[in-house]
Amino acid sequence: MRRWISGLLLVSFSGAAMAAGEDRGKLWWGHVQVLASDAYEGRGTGKPGYDRAADYVIGQFRALGLQPAGTDGYKQPIAFVEQVILPQDSSARLIGPQGETPLATPGDIIFSGGGGPAPERVSAPLVFAGYGLHLPEAGHDDFAGLDLKGKIVVVVSGGPATISGALKSHARSERAPWLAKQGALGLIQLVTPGQVEIPWERRMALASQPALFYRDAALRDTVRPFLNAQIDPARSALLFAGSGHDFAAISAAADRSAPVPGFPLVQRLDATVAARRSDLSSPNLIAVMPGTDPALKSQYVVLSAHLDGYGVGTPIKGDAIYNGALDNASGVASLLEIARALRDGKVKPRRSILFAIVTAEEKGLLGSRYFAQRPTVPQKRIVADLNFDMALPIFPLTSVTPIGYDQSSLGRVAAAVSADMSLPIVPDPFPDRNVFIRSDQYSFIRAGVPALFFKYGFRAGTPEAEVEKAWRANIYHSPRDDANQPVMPDQSVKLNDYVAAVTLRVANAPERPEWNRDSFFRRFAK
Ligand SMILES: [Zn+2]
């Protein structure tokens, strides 16, 4: 007899009630093909293509027998302000003892429109703050001793190797709100040439996309106007002219994770930022599969994935639709297929499973943050978040990287499933990429909820790492992320089964998941 729940799971996911693996792959890929087709116009937040995609998802929720759990049926509408930066009508120059240096807009400097309203004009001294990490609890504070009030703060990406990737990521995500509270007027983020992940040309194209912030000012990062900017790595040396420091040396240090001290710069930035603003609304989609246990069903395991994409943008090779197939129609498809697997499986979830297909992730995790702060079920009853975003089924799944597995008891659940399914856990090979704050699970973490974010495992320096790197360089956030790329649906079925097994174990365990004693993120636990 199979007495182990895990044994039952493996049986149930391959049992007669379930379609064969190949067919299940086709079902998953079918959702991706629909949602990533040109008819959905890249599912830009607030755009008609997103709303059509939402209708498709709601149709699937209904067909799966999931119950509505939004504020308006399956929907949880969110009010946003769209802010489009107009670089052609903006201007920027550096003013220092040696004179003025114009910065091309567009070209040398990119203003971003997220977080809150951009200032119409700002003229302020610059101060360089090294890695820009405020982590006094880790004995590290790049801002210590620097005068930030009334300044525009310049930081370089990276950080000391002795601080965990999760902690550094957290500090970066809290940085702009924290600086605004200190009276800083803006933040310029530099990357070293060695850190470049997306080429500058593509960054500029992406910056022409509309940004969003909440119409409700209480939810915004920065309430007063705050400048958010990036500078072309090839032009970043200009900021340091006359300071006695040079960007090449700073870059070399940052690339080695060596100490990068801060100092006041001798120039000021004088900028005008032209922007167009308008109101829009876009919904999260929330559905529930009620738990079977009379007591535990009032608790919720959230499965999340973002539905929004980059919409229609700057054409690349004549294609203006950023279809978002792997980022993240694939994740939405996984949630739908996990719902099917849980519905058809022999072991039923005792806690309720909440499917949160969220909006505005690409605009700064706004849909999930809204949900995590204003959930449609009691916040304290959300026990975990398991997130899918760009799992990249472009090489065989031989191991799994559940980002955050070293932070909570969810990591032990994942390890047990890994042992069952012979899919070992491998650590994130590139912790400095910030993936821990780059997707929706982070919104739940900030609200105190233990979370995992599932990635195909691979190690640095392997052929898989090359495939992944090439995908990020050439396809990520471009019109080429469509349904005409080689993808392995059968491998997606494997990861879906893995996450379904994690979901069931979490849903059926007597105790709810807990942050590890030594986890930094435990502080947010409610
Ligand atoms: Zn994504």
What's the CA-to-centroid distance between 307 and ligand 1, angstroms? Answer: 8
Asked if 273 contacts 90 with a C-beta cutoff of 8 angstroms, the reply is yes
Task: Output the pLDDT for position 19.
Answer: 59
What's the CA-to-centroid distance between 265 and ligand 1, angstroms? Answer: 36
What's the CA-to-centroid distance between 439 and ligand 1, angstroms? Answer: 7
What does the pLDDT look like over 241-266, one tens digit per residue?
999 999 999 999 999 999 999 999 99
What's the CA-to-centroid distance between 106 and ligand 1, angstroms? Answer: 26
What's the CA-to-centroid distance between 14 and ligand 1, angstroms? Answer: 29
Average pLDDT value for residue range 143-155: 97
What's the CA-to-centroid distance between 310 and ligand 1, angstroms? Answer: 10
Helix, strand, coil % in the chain, rounded to nearest 5: 35, 25, 40
pTM, two decimal places: 0.85
Task: Output the pLDDT for position 196.
Answer: 85
Average pLDDT value for residue range 327-334: 98
What's the CA-to-centroid distance between 249 and ligand 1, angstroms? Answer: 34
Asked if 10 contacts 420 with a C-beta cutoff of 8 angstroms, the reply is yes
Query: Which residue type does 292 have?
Result: T
What's the CA-to-centroid distance between 346 and ligand 1, angstroms? Answer: 32
Average pLDDT value for residue range 452-479: 93
What's the CA-to-centroid distance between 331 and ligand 1, angstroms? Answer: 8
What's the CA-to-centroid distance between 400 and ligand 1, angstroms? Answer: 18
- Percent of the chain scoring above 70 in pLDDT: 96
What's the CA-to-centroid distance between 453 and ligand 1, angstroms? Answer: 11
CA 31/CA 47 separation, integer angstroms = 20
What's the CA-to-centroid distance between 225 and ligand 1, angstroms? Answer: 27
What's the CA-to-centroid distance between 390 and ligand 1, angstroms? Answer: 6
Measuring CA to CA, which residue among 509, 507, 491 is closest to residue 454?
A: 491
Asked if 496 contacts 334 with a C-beta cutoff of 8 angstroms, the reply is yes
Task: Output the pLDDT for position 164.
Answer: 81
What's the CA-to-centroid distance between 491 and ligand 1, angstroms? Answer: 19
Is the confidence at residue 11, as pLDDT, over 60? no
What's the CA-to-centroid distance between 118 and ligand 1, angstroms? Answer: 24
What does the pLDDT look like over 263-280, one tens digit per residue?
999 999 999 999 999 999
Is the confidence at residue 477, as pLDDT, over 90? no
What's the CA-to-centroid distance between 57 and ligand 1, angstroms? Answer: 17
What's the CA-to-centroid distance between 222 and ligand 1, angstroms? Answer: 23
Between 178 and 22, name the one with better pLDDT: 178
Is the confidence at residue 167, as pLDDT, over 90? no
Secondary structure letter of residue 382 according to DSSP: E
Backbone angles phi, psi at 128, to 5 degrees: -90, 130
Mean pLDDT lowest for which of 6-20, 71-85, 436-450?
6-20
Secondary structure letter of residue 439 according to DSSP: S
CA dihedral sign of residues 457, 256, 174, 110: negative
CA 237/CA 258 separation, integer angstroms = 19
Mean pLDDT lowest for which of 157-166, 181-190, 393-402?
157-166
CA 348/CA 5 separation, integer angstroms = 11
CA 250/CA 258 separation, integer angstroms = 9
Task: Output the pLDDT for position 14.
Answer: 44
What's the CA-to-centroid distance between 140 and ligand 1, angstroms? Answer: 30
Task: Output the pLDDT for position 314.
Answer: 83
Q: What are the residues whose beta carbons fall under 8 Å from the beta carbon of 441, sequence distance 6 or more?
A: 304, 368, 385, 386, 387, 403, 404, 451, 452, 453
Query: Which residue type does 99 have?
Result: G
Q: What is the rounded average pLDDT for all residues in the chain?
A: 92
Q: Which range, 106-120, 151-165, 292-306, 471-485, has the best average confidence (pLDDT)?
A: 292-306
What's the CA-to-centroid distance between 144 and ligand 1, angstroms? Answer: 34
What does the pLDDT look like over 335-388, one tens digit per residue?
999 999 999 999 999 999 999 999 999 998 999 999 999 999 999 999 999 999
What's the CA-to-centroid distance between 376 and ligand 1, angstroms? Answer: 23
What's the CA-to-centroid distance between 393 and ligand 1, angstroms? Answer: 14
What's the CA-to-centroid distance between 90 and ligand 1, angstroms? Answer: 29
Task: Output the pLDDT for position 426.
Answer: 96
What's the CA-to-centroid distance between 183 and ligand 1, angstroms? Answer: 32
What's the CA-to-centroid distance between 389 and ligand 1, angstroms? Answer: 5
Enumerate residues with CB within 5 Å of ligand 1 (an ion). 327-328, 389-390
